[in-house]
Every structure is written in C-alpha cells, then in structure tokens.
Amino acid sequence: MATARDIMSGPVVMIDGMATVAEAIEMMESEGVRALIVDRRGPEDAYGIVTQRDIAYMVIAVETDPADVLVHEIQSKPLVVVNPDLDVKYVARLMSNFGLSRAPVIFDGKVQGIVSVSDIVNELS
C-alpha cells in the first residue's frame, strides 16, 4: 500500500505568521493553493496552518479588513502531522478522526509535503 510520502503534494507554500491575511490571500492565489503552512518562530515552536476556510470564517464573514489581521491570529496551531512512511489508510483514519481536510508531512523537523483528502481519493481510485 502507498504511504504519505507517495501521495503527498509539494512543495509546500509557507508564510510567516506576522504576514497579513491580505498577503496570505495573494500568496494563495498566485501559488494556486488552498492552505499555507505558517512557519515556526524557532526550532522549538510548532508549525501552523491557515486555510481559505479560516480566512472566510474568521475574517471575511465578520467583515474585517484582511490587511488588518495577521496570519498568526487566525492560524490553527499546533498541527496534526503525519510521518512520511505512514500507510495511506492510517493517514485517512487520522484525518477522519480529527476532521481534517489536509495534513502536513513532517520528517527531520521539516515540512516535506502535504496530504489532502483529494490526494487520498486519487490514490484509491
């Protein structure tokens, strides 16, 4: 069976937590992605994630200007991450148990890729 490494997408698009949500929106549009991994502030810090859904629910829906909100204010952190050698069926179960649509693949303390529900479905079809 395939592993997370086999189906992950990459390279992962990263953003600094001090960037504005307006900058995140621009980055998502230019890179053609629905989520950005928020970089760690240091080696002991955890990665975060900001998604289109986060922006829609926490910024746009409450009529806040995206230029006035910082990414770290709306990110999800810490992340549920997967090991690159984890079998796809276990990745699917993990994502299902936590209600996730995507999970970063981390190895040696660095984000190597990201697995989405679409990646899993494509692998199994």
- The span from the CA of 14 to the CA of 21, in Å, is 13
Residue 58, pLDDT score:
97
Select from 80, 82, 32 the least CA-distant residue to 52: 32
**In terms of residue numbers, what domain contains 13?**
4-124
Query: How many structural domains comprise the chain?
Result: 1
Which tens digit of pLDDT belongs to each residue from 47-95? 999 999 999 999 999 999 999 999 999 999 989 999 999 999 999 999 9
Q: CATH no. for residue 120?
A: 3.10.580.10
pLDDT, residue 61, reads 96
pLDDT band at residue 11 under the 50/70/90 scheme: confident
The helix/strand/coil state of 40 is: coil
29: left (phi over 0), alpha (psi -120 to 50) or beta: alpha
pTM for the model stands at 0.89
pLDDT for the residue 1? 82
Q: Are 55 and 25 in contact (CB under 8 A)?
A: yes
DSSP tag of 17:
T
pLDDT at 109: 83
